Amino acid sequence: MSITTTTHLNFRGDARAALGFYQSVFGGRVTIATYGDFGMPEDAPGADGVVFGQVESEDGFRVMAYDIPGQSGGSTAGAGSTRRENGITVTDQPFFVSVRGETLDEVESYWQKLAVGATIVEPLAASAWSAGFGMLTDSFGVTWILDVAAVYTAE
């Protein structure tokens, strides 16, 4: 038996743009089905909205997204605020999307692409627990944590 978890992001009309952006960062294949594809009349408001969307890469990255019916105006995924105060991350967000890579080069590549138009919460840098750790909120309002996997020994 195996289990897979996938982050599912909720948007207000810009799921298609977000999925395209995440594909440009992580590669992979985008799958999109609209409300119209599932029977909503073409001329109905929101028929072109995403009811099922996904980016999936061969490297294991996967994120899903959809447009909340009747909503417009950005993501609900990152609702809340995240900032640094006195060297501590302060947030009221219910979650972050975490991407962990094997090497600093790999993580830096994702970081540079995600950082376009983003608000940097913590710059990507070495930390006490990782060769690279950083946090940013992308232009869609989603907060990401990127880090390099560290090897821990059991105590």
Domains located in the chain, CATH noted: 7-73 (3.30.720.100), 82-148 (3.30.720.110)
Phi and psi for 145 in degrees, rounded to 5? -115, 125
Residues ≥6 apart with Cβ < 8 Å to 62: 4, 6, 7, 54, 55, 56
Closest Cα partner for 67 from 14, 139, 7, 8? Answer: 14
Tens of each residue's pLDDT in the chain, 155 residues: 777 889 999 998 999 999 999 999 999 999 999 989 988 888 888 889 999 999 999 999 999 999 988 766 666 665 666 666 666 666 666 678 999 999 999 999 999 999 999 999 999 999 888 999 999 999 999 999 999 998 766 66
Q: What is the pLDDT of residue 5?
A: 83
Q: What is the pTM (predicted TM-score) of this model?
A: 0.82
Instruction: Name the burial class of residue 14, with classes exposed (0-12), middle (13-18) and buried (19+) by CB atoms within 10 angstroms of its CB.
Output: buried
CA distances from 104 to 148, 151, 153 (A): 6, 14, 20
Would you call 74 helix, strand, or coil by DSSP? strand
At 38 the pLDDT is 85
Q: pLDDT at position 78, please?
A: 58
